[in-house]
Amino acid sequence: MQVDRNVVSIQPKPARLIRAPLLGISGSSDEEKPHDQESAASHFVEPYSADPDQRSVIRQVLDDLDISDDEGRRIFLLALEYEIGAFQQVILKHLDPVEDTATVDAQMAHIATAAKQLSDLLVDAGDRTKASILKGMAHADIFNRIADNRYLASLECEIDRLACACETSIETERRRQEPSNQASRRFIKMLANIYSECFEARPGCEPDEPFPFILRIIVEQTGLPVRFDESFVRQTLSGTGLAGS
């Protein structure tokens, strides 16, 4: 059978070597591996199927930032789709869905702070101030309960308990979300790797640098449950040798 040499000759040669998927490479710490995870490298990974609009938005961001050259951007998008596919199949399937509780946590933190401040104000209040408070509370009580110093001490105790309950709830939620945070760290490190390989540059962590902006756009476009706030990205990449200065 004769081979059409013209067809063979038009196949482009890769300008850079990329590894996909990177999520299964050796050297990852055991803490970062979900249980029962088998190496992604030993299984077929179906690339993430980005729709034309998603691909266009991400590509436009790369073009606007003028990162690397056209070939580097093309390879980056190709590697990105494989990596997202590996991330979904190897990492996310081991996670229980976690709600976004950032708003609730922020409100709980404000309540805890306000409760502590109120408790301190009551403790530091003078006798006349406390007497006025107790008088007003007794007058407003529809059950005609006695409002004395013991009542005020009980009130201070309940306010302290409110602050403690809010802080405990926030800490419990943070522990519950830790597996999700580990997955986010995995994704950020993966993206930093392909950024470095495809663009031959270290991914900086500062808000005015390209990497955090690209990360945010990718997460927003794909809907992946990945944290991309500035402090989390910096903490994730610090000490890895990936982040630029």
Average pLDDT over residues 130-144: 89
pLDDT for the residue 229: 87
Q: How many CB atoms lie within 10 A of CB 143?
A: 4
Q: Catalogue the long-range contacts made by 27-31 (C-beta closer than 8 Å, 24 or more residues apart).
A: 31/182
- Residues 182 and 85 occupy one common structural domain: yes
**83 C-beta neighbours (distance < 10 Å), count:** 25
> Model confidence over 94-120: pLDDT tens digits?
665 555 666 778 898 999 999 999 999
Give the pLDDT score at 182: 84
Same domain? 89 vs 206: yes
Look at the chain and report how many structural domains it folds into: 2
- pLDDT confidence band for 125 (50 / 70 / 90): very high
Say yes or no to pLDDT of 4 above 60: no
Residue 25 has pLDDT above 60, yes or no: no
Q: Say if residue 10's pLDDT is above 70.
A: no
Domain boundaries, position 115: 102-176
The whole model's pTM is what? 0.55
Q: 192 with 239: CB under 8 angstroms?
A: no
Residue 167 and residue 186 share a domain = no
Question: How many angstroms separate the CA atoms of 160 and 38, rounded?
Answer: 48
Cα–Cα dist 35/225, whole Å? 19
Q: Which tops the pLDDT comparison, 4 or 70?
A: 70
Cβ atoms of 234 and 192 within 8 Å: the answer is no
- The CB density around residue 122, as the number of other CB atoms within 10 Å, is 16
Structure-block tokens of residue 148: 């004395």
149 within a domain of the structure (yes/no): yes
SS3 for 201? coil
- Over residues 167-190, the mean pLDDT reads 80
**Tens of pLDDT, residues 205-215:** 888 899 999 99
